[in-house]
Amino acid sequence: MGDERVSAGAYAAREGLRKERLFFWKRKLRASAAMAVAGVSFAKVSVAPSRALPVGGPLEVVTRSGHTVRVAADFDEAALLRLLSVLGGA
C-alpha cells in the first residue's frame, strides 16, 4: 500500500468495514476527552502480524514525542490521559 490517499468509503470497502461504522468511530474519537487532552489525530499506521498476549498482558503506547508508556490491560483511563498530557500529548 503506498502513500496513496483514499476516501473513507474506499478504505472501508477495501478493509471489509461498513462506512457508517468508520464514521461513527471518527465522530466518537473527535468528541472524546482524549482528543482534547492529548491532541490525538488519525495517522497512517502499518499493522504487523499479531502475537497472542497473555490475558491481562500489558499495553504499550509510543507517543509522537518518543515516550513509551506501558500500562496493564485494566489501566485507569483518566490517569493515562493525565500522564500523556504531562508528556506533551501523543
| Residue 18 confidence (pLDDT) above 60 | yes
Return d(Cα 2, Cα 53) in angstroms, integer. 30
Percentage of the chain lying above the pLDDT 70 cut:
72
- Is residue 22 helix, strand or coil? helix
* Average pLDDT rounded to a whole number, residues 37-51: 67
The pLDDT confidence band at residue 42, using thresholds 50, 70 and 90, is: low
pLDDT digits (tens, 9 = 90+) for 48-64: 776 665 566 688 888 77
**Cβ atoms within 10 Å of 46's Cβ, excluding its own:** 5
Q: Which of 16-20, 36-40, 41-45, 48-52 has the highest mean pLDDT?
A: 16-20
Task: Write out the DSSP string of 31-65.
Answer: HSHHHHHH--------PPPP-PPPTT--EEEE-TT
